[in-house]
Amino acid sequence: MILKDRLAFVTGAGSGIGRAGALAMAREGALVVVTDRDGAAARAVAAEIAAAGGRAEAQAVDVADDAALTEAIAGTAARHGRLDILHSHAGVQVSGGLAEASVQEMDLSWRLNVRAHFVAAKAALGPMRAQRRGSIIVTASNSGVQYDRGMIAYCTTKHAAIAMVRQIAVDHARDGIRCNALCPGFVDTPFNAGFQAQMGGRAALENYVAETIPMGRWGSVDEIAEAILYLASDRSAFMTGHALVIDGAESL
């Protein structure tokens, strides 16, 4: 198992990609701390891991609460004496261009898609520095390497998240800490509500996926989970500061 005896902390793990990554890391031997704003969802995923023979803990954590997020990560590291993997996944998707998106929506996007990743990485830095190793994975998006029409808040913050990942990577490479951005394209989860609204409904979104993405299909959460395993494990030991785009060539 490629993550045997490692400790992983995951935000936004109650559903979708976060859940799939948590399940995959547990299958590969990690003890996974499953967190989500919805505590019941986090507990359900932890129970699913336990039922499959893995190890997990669950916590209700709202990443918009700086103190709660910091305490959850620091408390996990103190309780277990280590922190090997941080997957800072929770985020928000707000549709609308400059004319439509409100200042409040931009502020929310910044708080969840950039600031929360900063707070989480800062909390993980101490324990990872102490053990001279660690992998920080920040979920950005392929919207961070291209420009989606009518999605100003989402694209702006996803570009910023990738820039922050690269800065963390160069600043802390000699501490043994790697930091990479996970950049999925269209994966069929409820997170796409913003794009669906912006495109005019489910049928239009399905048509976009079929006609515009070169591979002509959605990605699956399990495909993204494989990338999470790669970034979390020593298989990517010489990779840091990278934006790993998995989008069926949509951004090309």
Whether the predicted pLDDT of 31 surpasses 90: yes
The arithmetic mean of pLDDT across residues 23-31, rounded, is: 98
Pairwise CA distance, residues 212 & 87, whole Å = 30
* Angle, CA of 241, 242 and 247, to the nearest 5°: 155
The catalytically annotated residue of 147, 154, 208, 230 is 154
Query: DSSP state, 174?
Result: G
Whether the predicted pLDDT of 194 surpasses 80: no
Whether the predicted pLDDT of 181 surpasses 90: yes
Of the candidates 3, 60, 52, 12, the residue with the CA atom closest to the CA atom of residue 31: 3
List the alpha helices (DSSP H) in 56-115. Answer: 66-80, 103-110
Question: Residues 115-144: pLDDT tens digits?
Answer: 999 999 999 999 999 999 999 999 999 999
- Is residue 147 among the annotated active site residues? no
Contact 146, 184 (CB under 8 A): no
Helix (H) or strand (E) holding 154, with range, is helix 152-172
All domains of the chain in start order, with CATH? 7-186+220-244 (3.40.50.720)
Whether the predicted pLDDT of 192 surpasses 80: no
Contact 9, 63 (CB under 8 A): no
Least confident of 69-83, 133-147, 177-191: 177-191
pTM, entire model: 0.95
* Angle, CA of 40, 42 and 45, to the nearest 5°: 110
Pairwise CA distance, residues 162 & 159, whole Å = 5
